[in-house]
Chains A and B, each alone.
Chain A
């Protein structure tokens, strides 16, 4: 059967990985290449690199960074940030990415999703949504969470599938960096409105939150960024916990932590 995926997100600012807190504070923590080598060896199913400066600085994707990241990335690689043309998608894919992720630009130019899906296949096009609760419903925000588009997440999700997106990455702005777990209501709004895979993001502070994104949020993949930094073996511990809670995952590493429990930092006890 198809396994649920665990996906670390590498958030990049000025060519360094950062930890993000509510999209407002950023803590630089290391080099991209080191993180990729670590993740690939420790059983992750996919990797997403998001360059959060690109759109703001009005520049395209950093192709040399992608090339170097892709070299030892033997799992699928999704790249986001600064993608706004068929040409830029082509150059990102040629540099070693398998999928691209678009966010603000998709809202501003919905037709671009269709153009890109026709040209590269919809499986190649991930659309990322940054969402925040506004008067009891969720709205789509753009430009790193700064601008409220007034568009409802439920409407946008349905439209994205119709436009040709292959996958949706849903992120809660309020839960980002909170360690309180995913916003399950938000996840359910997206997963119940589309028939394409949905990746949960934002707020994981405990490995159990990951399983909950699948079991309670009904997503097909779970992503997190901060929790996978600073903790060796953390992705394996994450999968062992998910497995224990009944989620089907791929376990290929020799280290499986089958008979261990984990503290809230994800360290075996």
Chain B
């Protein structure tokens, strides 16, 4: 049965700018947005959004302190709830990261996170607008051309099997820009700060989930 206004829960675990995600969602599609870390809000939502800016370890510690680790595992892995992860959110859903020593993530998608190993002509962080290569067609990219620009800001990136990579980006070498596995979609760039292309991507995502509800 199709619901007109899906309930979206932006997971608040004390990392980064939630306001810009809220602003972009409010602008794009009719939806019911909750910012919360409460089990009941996670439980009653149709879509989970895992944003995040900051360091990997702080993110994992904050999630554990708020009892979110087990609750999110349950929602995403057992209940198969649609989840969209952004930037650091994309990194913590992997198995591990080398940021701050070796740290463990959720491991929802096999793979790890490493720092950019690039020559001196490439500055780190990778900061600014870069074009993505669409690897696998998806409803997500409806109306979005190959080589469209999105806003990136990160020093680490995800490495995973190419079966999960639906769009890539190049900064000294090719890395994963958008990955997808089952009910999970993750963006290394910030759709909420990527102007028209980003807003369209968010609209496409919500609409594709709405069709499944």
Contact = CB atoms under 8 A, between A and B. Distances in A.
A267 B168 CA distance: 38
B193 A76 contact: yes
Given A252-B149, A252-B197, A74 B128 contact: no
Interface residues of A, number: 39
Nearest to A67: B19
Contacts of A163: none
A73 B20 CA distance: 8
Contacts of A140: none
B130 interface: yes
B123 A196 contact: yes
Interface string A1-37: 1111100000000000000000000000000000000
Nearest to B193: A76
B88 A121 contact: yes
Contacts of A77: 20, 193
A98 interface: yes
B53 A120 contact: yes
A3 B193 CA distance: 15
Interface in B134-181: 149, 151-155, 170-171
A149 to B, nearest CB: 26
Contacts of B18: 94
Interface of A: 1-5, 40, 45, 67, 70-77, 93-99, 118-124, 166-167, 195-197, 220-221, 250, 252
Interface of B: 16-20, 23-24, 27, 53-55, 58, 88, 120, 122-131, 149, 151-155, 170-171, 190, 192-199
17 contacts: A2-B128, A3-B129, A45-B128, A72-B23, A74-B192, A76-B193, A98-B193, A119-B55, A121-B53, A121-B155, A195-B120, A195-B123, A196-B124, A197-B123, A197-B127, A197-B128, A220-B127
